[in-house]
Amino acid sequence: METKKKLSKEERERILKIVRQSATNYRETNSILDKILPEIPQSNSLINQ
Amino acid sequence: MQQYEYDFIDDETFSYFFKTTFQVFYKIEFKPTGYIFGEEYIWSHYCYEFSIKLSANSPKNTPFDPLVSITIASIFVDFFKNKQNIIIYTCDTSDGKHLVRVRKFDRWFNQFNHEKFLKIDNSIVDSKQNTTYYNSLIIRQDNPYKDEIVEAFEDLIGGFEEDK
């Protein structure tokens, strides 16, 4: 059976720091993508929620 | 397919520029982020985050312009002319709209994918910030380091489990 490689606490902290920074970096881009990407039809978005 | 023409500057950060018929100036940047995986991997030097920016003097409240997402998709394809390039995308969750955002991004990605690219999605729970980060890895299917990159991404993000 395949098992996930568990990261050390230090490695998890390092990754969290990177991901938090990345999320912050992407905030403006996400906001622009929200406006420029076509809306998903309402019926689909309700089904998928 | 109709799209806007764009300019490209090949520097440490790859930058593309275009202007819409509504006089909105877009800048698409691909910034190196090799530190995510660690510089010891030869392919980490091809790892990028992308950003979309508007020039400060771009008009606000312009009508929806379908050519913008088509042009940015075309820029993505151009960026991936180098088959070793890698994109790490993180979805912002701070406003609670991430599920709609993820679906919109997926729908857009699938429109230009045509089986040429591989996208792997994963998430990390940040209990301290009480939030979940959605991350995607995008590479070309024929990336020569494909298996190694996928394994490293899954080890990095998938191995992220907090102590119980």
Structural domains in chain B plus CATH codes: 7-158 (3.40.630)
Under an 8 A CB cutoff, do A30 and B126 touch? no
Under an 8 A CB cutoff, do A23 and B50 touch? no
pLDDT at A49: 43
pLDDT at A33: 92
Q: What is the distance in angstroms between the Cα of B159 and the nearest Cα belonging to chain A?
A: 5
pLDDT at B164: 44
In 3D space, the residue among B99, B21, B63 whose CA is nearest the CA of residue A36 turns out to be B63
Residues of A with a Cβ under 8 Å from any B Cβ are 4-7, 9, 12, 15-16, 18-20, 22-23, 25-40, 45, 48-49
Q: What's the start-to-end Cα distance of chain A, in Å?
A: 32
Residues of chain A with pLDDT under 70: 1-5, 42-49
Please tell me the distance from the alpha carbon of residue A47 to that of residue B50, in angstroms, as a whole number.
30
pLDDT at A43: 56
CB-based contacts of A19, cutoff 8 Å, min separation 6: B90, B124, B126, B133, B135
pLDDT at B20: 95
Under an 8 A CB cutoff, do A28 and B124 touch? no
Helix (H, G, I), strand (E, B) or coil at B132: strand
pLDDT at A42: 63
Best residue in B52, B132, B137 for a mutation probing chain A (most A CBs within 10 Å)? B52
Residues of chain B with pLDDT under 70: 1, 159-164
Under an 8 A CB cutoff, do A15 and B157 touch? yes
pLDDT at B1: 65
Q: How far is CA A30 from the centre of its chain?
A: 10
By residue count, chain A amounts to 49
Please tell me the distance from the alpha carbon of residue B25 to that of residue B4, in angstroms, as a whole number.
11
pLDDT at A32: 92
